[in-house]
C-alpha cells in the first residue's frame, strides 16, 4: 500500500515497550483459537510455575477432574496431566487475567470462575467438599503471563499482526530511535513516538472501523488515508487509542472539498487546521475545555491536533518549505485542539447550531492563525461587551479588509455570563455582532487613515465576516474576563469553510 514517510510501523529488535494495554477480558467462551480446542464441559485450571500461589495449590489439583493448562512449564505441576500453554493461546481464549484460575465450562460456555486461591469458592465450584484442607483459607494469585508487557506485545502482533498492511522499517541496533524518525522526515520537529506494530494495533483497538477502510484522500498529493495510516500517525503524535475516533473524524473534515486543505497549505498566510471537539466524547477522553484550553498540559488537546497535522504531512505530503508556503506560520500549526464547554455554557452548543443532534459527539475543523486575547474586565452590560469584542474582531486579517478572513471567537464563562444574565441567547449575540461589524465604506477605502491597504472604492457598508464565517464557542477557565479571537483564512469559495463531522464511535 505504498511507503509514504510516516506511514510504516517501525520494528527494532532492541526496542522494548513498557506499557501493555493488551487485555484478554471479554474473550471468554471462544471455543477454538489458533487451533486450540477448549473442553466443552468440566473444570479447567490455568497455572504457572513462577507463581507461589500456583505452587501452593499444586498438590490439590490431582483431586480435581480438571483440564490443567500451564503457562510457563509443561512439567508443572508434577503428577498431573498438563497441557502446554506456553504459547498462551488457551489463556487468551479463556480470558485469563490471574493465575491460578479455576473455571467451569458447560456446553462450551463458561459458567463459573474463581481467581487466586479461595478454599470455600474452589470447594463450591469443584464439588469436592474436603478440597485443600491443609491449605490456608485464602491467598491471592499472580498476574497471568498474558499481561507481561513483552509477552503481551508479542502475542498482540502474533494474533493480530496480519491486520497491518504498511511495510516495516527495521532500525539498526545502535540507531537512536528519536533521531532515526526525525532523519526520515516523519516528525514536525518535535520527538515522536515510534509506531511499532504493537502500538499501532493497540491504537486500532480504539475504533470499530476496519483498518483498511479509506478515511479520506489527503491533499496535497491526494493519497488515500486508511484507518491504519491515520492510526500510525496518531501513535507518532502520542495519542491514546480512545482519541482515534476524534482523529479520524478530524481527518475526514479536513479533507472535505469545502475545507480546501490544499489551498490552506499552499497559501503564504500562517493559518493551519484546528480541531474543536463537541459532545460527550470530549469529557470522556479528557479534551480540555476549561482553564488553559488553548495551551499546553493536556494530552488529548496536544496530540489530537498534532495527529491531524502529521497525517497531512506524512500521508498527504504537506511539508513546510515545499507545498506549505507560509511566510511566518504560527505555533498552532504543530497542532491545535480544544473542546467546547457545553456544561458551562448557557447557550446551545455551537455543534447544535451547525446541525449536529443534541448530545452527539462531533468535530469542527477550521482554519486558524495564532490566538489573540481580548481584555474587557469592566463591561457589565451586553451592549458594552459586544462592542469590545467587535472592535477586537475587526483586526482579523486587517481592520480594513471586509469581508475577508473567517474567525472563531472563544468566550470564557465570565464573559458569556454577561450576555446570558441579560437574556441574550446565541442568536441575539451573533446578530448584535453582525450589526456592529458592518463597516462604513469611508473606513474601508484604500488610503483611509493614511493606510494604503483597504477595499477599492467601496460604495456601501461591508460586513466584516461572510455569512457563517464567524463561529462562537464557549471555553476557558471560570475566572478571568478574557476572550480569545482565533483568526482564520479567506472564507468561502476559493478559501476555506469550517467543516463539522459526526464522530463515529
Quote the cell numbers at residue 323: 507545498
* Residue 162 confidence class, pLDDT cut points 50, 70, 90: confident
Residue 2 has pLDDT above 50, yes or no: no
Residue 21 has pLDDT above 80, yes or no: no
Three-state secondary structure call for residue 246? helix
* Residue 9 confidence class, pLDDT cut points 50, 70, 90: low
Q: What's the pTM?
A: 0.85
Average pLDDT estimate for 87-115: 95
Average pLDDT estimate for 405-422: 98
What pLDDT shows up at residue 7?
54
Contacts of 43 (CB under 8 A, 6+ apart): 64, 65, 66, 67, 102, 103, 104, 125, 126
What pLDDT shows up at residue 8?
61
- Domain range annotation of the chain: 32-147, 197-502
Residue 34 has pLDDT above 70, yes or no: no
What pLDDT shows up at residue 401?
95
Distance of CA 350 to the CA centre of its chain: 21
Residue 28 has pLDDT above 90, yes or no: no
What pLDDT shows up at residue 36?
73
Q: Model confidence over 341-370: pLDDT tens digits?
A: 999 999 999 999 999 999 999 999 999 999
Residue 6 has pLDDT above 70, yes or no: no
CATH classification for the domain delimited by 32-147, as one of 1.25.10.10, 3.90.700.10, 3.40.50.2000, 3.40.30.10: 3.40.30.10
Q: Model confidence over 420-460: pLDDT tens digits?
A: 999 999 999 999 999 999 999 999 999 999 999 999 999 99
* Residue 155 confidence class, pLDDT cut points 50, 70, 90: confident
What pLDDT shows up at residue 371?
96
Quote the cell numbers at residue 327: 511566510
Average pLDDT estimate for 320-332: 94
The mean predicted confidence, pLDDT, of the chain is: 91
Compute the half-sphere exposure of residue 198: CA atoms within 13 Å on the CB side of its CA: 21
Average pLDDT estimate for 31-49: 81
* Residue 267 confidence class, pLDDT cut points 50, 70, 90: very high
* Residue 25 confidence class, pLDDT cut points 50, 70, 90: very low
User: Which segments within 271-328 are labelled E, that is strand?
Assistant: 272-278
**Weakest-pLDDT range from 127-131, 174-178, 231-235, 326-330:** 174-178
What pLDDT shows up at residue 173?
83
Residue 270 has pLDDT above 90, yes or no: yes
Q: Are 212 and 227 in contact (CB under 8 A)?
A: yes
What pLDDT shows up at residue 35?
58
Compute the half-sphere exposure of residue 267: CA atoms within 13 Å on the CB side of its CA: 21
Compute the half-sphere exposure of residue 76: CA atoms within 13 Å on the CB side of its CA: 19
462 cis-preceded (ω within 30 degrees of 0) = no
Q: Model confidence over 170-214: pLDDT tens digits?
A: 888 888 999 999 999 999 999 999 999 999 999 999 999 999 999
What pLDDT shows up at residue 172?
86
Q: Are 338 and 278 in contact (CB under 8 A)?
A: no
Q: Model confidence over 455-482: pLDDT tens digits?
A: 999 999 999 999 999 999 999 999 999 9
Other beta carbons within 10 Å of 329: 18
Average pLDDT estimate for 492-496: 91
As a whole number of angstroms, the distance between CA 265 and CA 242 comes to 28
Average pLDDT estimate for 324-330: 95
Residue 22 has pLDDT above 80, yes or no: no
Q: Model confidence over 371-389: pLDDT tens digits?
A: 999 999 999 999 999 999 9
Residue 18 has pLDDT above 60, yes or no: no
Residue 5 has pLDDT above 80, yes or no: no
What pLDDT shows up at residue 4?
47
Largest CA distance in the chain: 100
As a whole number of angstroms, the distance between CA 116 and CA 114 comes to 7
Q: Is the dihedral of CA 172, 175, 180, 181 positive or negative?
A: positive
36 compared with 34, residue with greater pLDDT: 36
What pLDDT shows up at residue 171?
86
What pLDDT shows up at residue 31?
36
Residue 320 has pLDDT above 60, yes or no: yes
Only one residue has cell 473455571, namely 103
**Weakest-pLDDT range from 55-64, 107-116, 173-182:** 173-182
**Nearest Cα to Cα of residue 490 among 371, 401, 411:** 401
Amino acid at each position: 500500500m505504498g511507503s509514504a514517510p510516516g506511514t510504516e510501523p517501525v520494528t527494532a529488535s532492541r526496542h522494548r515497550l513498557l506499557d501493555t494495554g493488551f487485555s484478554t477480558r471479554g474473550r471468554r467462551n471462544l471455543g477454538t483459537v489458533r487451533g486450540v480446542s477448549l473442553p466443552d464441559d468440566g473444570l479447567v485450571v490455568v497455572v504457572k510455575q513462577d507463581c507461589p500461589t500456583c505452587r501452593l495449590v499444586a498438590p490439590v489439583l490431582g483431586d480435581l477432574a480438571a483440564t490443567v493448562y500451564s503457562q510457563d512449564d509443561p512439567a508443572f505441576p508434577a503428577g498431573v496431566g498438563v497441557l502446554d500453554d506456553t504459547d498462551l493461546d488457551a489463556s487468551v481464549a479463556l480470558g485469563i487475567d490471574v493465575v491460578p484460575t479455576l473455571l467451569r465450562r458447560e456446553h462450551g460456555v463458561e459458567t463459573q470462575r474463581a481467581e487466586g486461591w479461595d478454599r470455600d469458592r474452589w470447594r463450591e465450584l469443584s464439588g469436592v467438599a474436603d478440597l485443600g484442607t491443609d491449605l490456608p483459607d485464602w491467598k491471592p494469585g499472580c498476574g497471568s503471563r498474558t499481561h507481561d508487557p513483552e509477552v503481551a506485545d508479542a502475542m498482540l502482533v502474533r494474533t493480530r499482526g496480519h491486520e497491518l498492511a504498511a511495510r516495516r522499517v527495521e532500525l539498526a541496533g545502535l540507531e537512536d530511535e528519536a533521531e532515526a524518525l526525525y532523519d526520515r522526515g516523519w516528525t514536525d520537529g518535535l520527538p515522536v513516538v515510534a509506531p511499532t506494530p504493537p502500538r499501532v494495533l493497540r491504537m486500532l483497538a480504539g475504533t470499530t472501523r476496519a483498518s483498511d477502510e479509506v478515511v479520506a484522500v489527503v491533499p496535497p498529493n491526494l493519497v488515500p488515508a486508511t484507518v491504519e495510516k491515520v492510526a500510525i500517525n496518531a501513535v507518532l503524535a502520542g495519542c491514546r487509542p480512545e482519541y482515534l475516533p476524534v482523529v479520524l473524524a478530524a481527518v475526514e473534515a479536513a479533507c472535505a472539498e469545502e475545507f480546501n486543505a490544499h489551498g490552506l497549505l499552499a497559501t503564504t498566510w500562517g493559518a493551519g487546521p484546528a480541531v474543536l471537539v463537541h459532545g460527550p466524547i470530549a469529557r470522556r477522553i479528557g479534551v480540555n475545555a476549561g482553564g488553559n484550553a488553548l495551551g499546553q498540559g493536556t494530552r488529548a488537546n496536544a496530540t489530537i491536533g498534532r495527529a491531524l497535522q502529521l497525517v497531512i504531512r506524512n500521508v498527504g505530503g504537506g511539508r513546510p518549505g515545499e507545498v506549505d508556503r507560509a511566510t511566518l506560520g504560527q505555533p498552532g500549526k504543530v497542532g491545535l485542539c480544544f473542546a467546547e464547554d457545553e456544561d458551562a455554557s448557557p447557550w446551545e452548543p455551537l455543534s447544535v447550531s451547525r446541525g449536529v443532534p443534541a448530545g452527539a459527539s462531533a468535530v469542527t475543523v477550521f482554519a486558524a492563525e495564532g490566538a489573540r486575547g481580548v481584555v474587557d474586565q469592566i463591561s457589565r452590560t451586553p451592549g458594552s461587551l459586544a462592542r469590545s469584542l467587535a472592535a477586537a474582531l475587526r483586526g482579523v486579517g486587517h481592520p480594513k479588509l471586509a469581508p475577508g478572513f473567517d474567525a472563531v471567537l472563544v468566550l470564557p464563562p465570565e464573559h458569556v455570563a454577561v450576555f446570558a444574565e441579560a437574556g441574550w441567547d446565541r442568536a441575539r449575540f451573533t446578530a448584535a455582532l453582525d450589526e456592529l461589524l458592518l463597516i462604513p465604506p469611508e473606513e474601508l477605502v484604500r488610503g483611509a487613515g493614511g493606510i494604503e491597504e483597504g477595499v477599492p472604492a467601496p460604495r456601501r457598508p461591508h460586513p466584516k465576516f461572510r455569512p457563517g464565517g464567524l463561529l462562537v464557542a464557549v471555553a476557558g477557565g471560570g475566572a478571568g474576563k478574557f476572550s480569545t479571537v482565533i483568526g482564520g483564512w479567506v472564507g468561502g469559495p476559493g478559501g476555506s469553510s469550517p467543516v463539522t463531522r459526526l464522530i463515529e464511535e
